[in-house]
């Protein structure tokens, strides 16, 4: 089922430019598939806003190859089984030259084979599961991958939390969660850590008391929940209700205002890794934060917004370097992205089409996200 929501973002002045110039070369159509509604809407909306800001800035500065960008965004409602259909539609009907998306690894995995078969480059802003870019040489990302995130989380648990015995609560229906659990466990065990119990849940579950009740008597030093914010917030709440007082921590799937809205006092003192901090004093980050706030009613951009922005900018500079919008040439240009100074750090695309970058650790203090530390890869 293709969803009804459909947006086109073409600045008014671009239409004017096209109207006055009979020789206008047209527009560069970029397709975005995003979770604008549904369970991960906070991620999808943030990422989309960052993407939109990038496209508008690019167009305002004259576009690329003398053409303006047109961003065509389709909502997959955070549902499984929508993204492949949307990718097909964007490619065959709208004739987009590239795809941007998705935040969630599971949904990027659905669209990637479509992009690959059509030889249309796809850039995921923030899907961190390694399998995403393994789908083919047309699939890229601008974020770090979970083997790195898992290793940094293991290091953080051991050195900062001083946790030796950790309980693991994994969402078995999310490729991201399953992957991150594994990539945490391996280095954690290798460095003398112990996983005292492993419990499972599924996306959309609301009641985690059985799992938490099983965890309690194992007396872990900390509980690792590699999942998304909705379930993570409920898990924190129910853990505190059951008298579990040890730290809970997660990965980049935790970063959404909903974590605090749903979790309330129960998420005070939690930790998670993510891709960037708006508290960074780097001039480029501060400019991005200001521009984003101006455009979106004072909203502070989170990691998804910054990655959405970087994904569109990396694609645009690849099209510029390729000198054409032809898929194979844009693909080749993306593959040679080197030292691109992004908002989320310096982006160099490696041989596996991934970016190796630092991670940031964030906590919740007095109902606010607070930067803790940067961990280098
Ligand atoms: N990295 C997560 C995934 O791959 C999704 C995510 C994106 C989480 C951006 C936070 C920020 O599924």
Q: Residues 140, 286: one domain?
A: yes
Give CA–CA dist 12/17, Å, rounded.
9
User: What is the average pLDDT value for the chain, to the nearest integer?
Assistant: 93
Ligand 1 mean position, distance from CA 253 (Å):
5
Which ligand 1 atom is at minimum distance from the Cα of 252?
Answer: 10
Q: Residues 236, 259: one domain?
A: yes
* Domain final residue, candidates 274, 308, 335: 274
Q: Residues 33, 114: one domain?
A: yes
105 in ligand 1 pocket by Cβ < 6 Å?
yes
Task: Please tell me the number of Cα atoms within 13 Å of 301 on its side-chain side.
Answer: 34
Residue nearest atom 5 in ligand 1 by C-alpha distance: 104
**Per the structure, how many domains does the chain have?**
2
Q: Which two three-digit tokens encode residue 93?
A: 């009907």
Q: Which domain holds residue 195?
A: 147-274
Is residue 350 helix, strand or coil?
coil
Return the closest-CA partner of residue 229 out of 43, 372, 33, 37. Answer: 43
**Per this entry, what is the length of the chain?**
377
On whether residue 373 sits in a domain, the answer given is no
255 in ligand 1 pocket by Cβ < 6 Å?
yes
Is residue 300 helix, strand or coil?
coil
On whether residue 164 sits in a domain, the answer given is yes
On whether residue 214 sits in a domain, the answer given is yes
Residue-level pLDDT at 377 = 83
Return the closest-CA partner of residue 230 out of 209, 267, 204. Answer: 204
Residue-level pLDDT at 376 = 85
Which ligand 1 atom is at minimum distance from the Cα of 132?
Answer: 4
More confident residue, 298 or 8: 298
Ligand 1 mean position, distance from CA 105 (Å):
7
Ligand 1 mean position, distance from CA 103 (Å):
5
Distance of CA 296 to the CA centre of its chain: 19
Give CA–CA dist 110/43, Å, rounded.
17
149 in ligand 1 pocket by Cβ < 6 Å?
no
276 in ligand 1 pocket by Cβ < 6 Å?
no
Ligand 1 mean position, distance from CA 139 (Å):
16
Q: Residues 135, 15: one domain?
A: yes
Q: Residues 229, 101: one domain?
A: no
pTM of the model: 0.92
252 in ligand 1 pocket by Cβ < 6 Å?
yes
Residue-level pLDDT at 52 = 98
Q: Residues 84, 42: one domain?
A: yes
Q: Residues 162, 108: one domain?
A: no
Q: Residues 207, 96: one domain?
A: no
**What's the rounded mean pLDDT across residues 85-105?**
98
Return the closest-CA partner of residue 305 out of 322, 289, 321, 282. Answer: 289
Residue-level pLDDT at 278 = 95
Percent of the chain predicted with pLDDT > 70: 93
- pLDDT tens-place string over residues 27-83: 999 999 999 999 999 999 999 999 999 999 999 999 999 999 999 999 999 999 999
Q: Containing H/E element for 368?
A: strand 368-375
Strand order in the sheet with 68-75: 6-9, 68-75, 27-34, 98-100, 122-124, 139-141
Judged against a pLDDT cut of 60, whether residue 121 lies above it is answered with yes
- pLDDT tens-place string over residues 213-234: 999 999 999 999 999 999 999 9
Buried b (16+ CB within 10 A) or exposed e, 290-309: eebeeebeeeebbbbbbbbb
Which CATH number goes with the domain that contains 66? 3.40.50.2300
Best residue among 40, 128, 305, 361 to mutate for probing ligand 1's pocket (most ligand atoms within 8 Å of CB) is 128
Which ligand 1 atom is at minimum distance from the Cα of 307?
Answer: 9
Give CA–CA dist 98/255, Å, rounded.
27
Q: Residues 244, 336: one domain?
A: no
Residue-level pLDDT at 21 = 36
Region of 221 (left: φ > 0; alpha: ψ -120 to 50; beta: rest) is: alpha
Q: Which two three-digit tokens encode residue 375?
A: 């961990």
Is residue 25 helix, strand or coil?
coil
318 in ligand 1 pocket by Cβ < 6 Å?
no
127 in ligand 1 pocket by Cβ < 6 Å?
yes
Give the pLDDT band of residue 356 (cuts 50, 70, 90): confident
Give CA–CA dist 32/29, Å, rounded.
10
Q: Residues 139, 175: one domain?
A: no
**What's the rounded mean pLDDT across residues 277-284?**
93
Residue-level pLDDT at 39 = 92
43 in ligand 1 pocket by Cβ < 6 Å?
yes
């Amino acid at each position: 089922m293709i969803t009804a929501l459909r947006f086109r973002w073409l600045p008014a002045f671009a239409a004017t430019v096209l109207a006055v110039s009979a020789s206008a070369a047209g527009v560069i159509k970029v397709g975005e598939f995003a979770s604008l509604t549904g369970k991960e809407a906070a991620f999808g909306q943030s990422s989309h806003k960052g993407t939109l800001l990038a496209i508008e800035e690019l167009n305002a500065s004259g576009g690329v190859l003398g053409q303006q960008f047109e961003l065509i965004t389709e909502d997959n409602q955070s549902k499984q089984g929508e993204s492949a259909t949307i990718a097909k539609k964007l490619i065959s009907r709208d004739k987009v030259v590239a795809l941007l998306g998705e935040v969630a690894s599971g949904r990027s995995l659905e669209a990637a084979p479509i992009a690959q078969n059509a030889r249309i480059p796809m850039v995921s802003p923030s899907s961190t599961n390694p399998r995403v870019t393994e789908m083919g040489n047309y699939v890229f990302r601008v974020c770090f991958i979970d083997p790195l995130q898992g290793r940094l989380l293991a290091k953080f648990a051991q050195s900062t939390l001083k946790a030796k015995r950790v309980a693991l609560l994994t969402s078995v229906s999310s490729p991201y969660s399953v992957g991150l659990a594994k990539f945490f466990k391996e280095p954690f065990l290798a460095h003398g850590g112990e996983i005292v119990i492993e419990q499972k849940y599924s996306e959309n579950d609301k009641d985690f008391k059985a799992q938490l009740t099983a965890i309690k008597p194992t007396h872990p030093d900390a509980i690792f929940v590699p999942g998304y914010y909705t379930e993570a917030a409920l898990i924190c709440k129910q853990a505190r209700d059951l008298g579990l007082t040890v730290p809970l921590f997660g990965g980049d799937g935790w970063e959404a205002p909903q974590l605090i809205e749903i979790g309330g006092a129960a998420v005070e003192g939690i930790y998670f890794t993510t891709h960037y901090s708006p508290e960074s004093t780097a001039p480029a980050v501060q400019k991005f934060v200001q521009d984003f706030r101006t455009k979106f009613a004072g909203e502070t951009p989170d990691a998804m917004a910054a990655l959405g922005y970087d994904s569109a900018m990396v694609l645009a500079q690849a099209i510029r370097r390729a000198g054409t919008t032809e898929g194979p040439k844009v693909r080749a240009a993306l593959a040679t992205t080197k030292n691109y100074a992004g908002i989320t750090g310096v982006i160099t695309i490696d041989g596996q089409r991934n970016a190796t970058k630092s991670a940031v650790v964030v906590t919740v203090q007095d109902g606010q996200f607070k930067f803790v530390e940067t961990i280098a890869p």
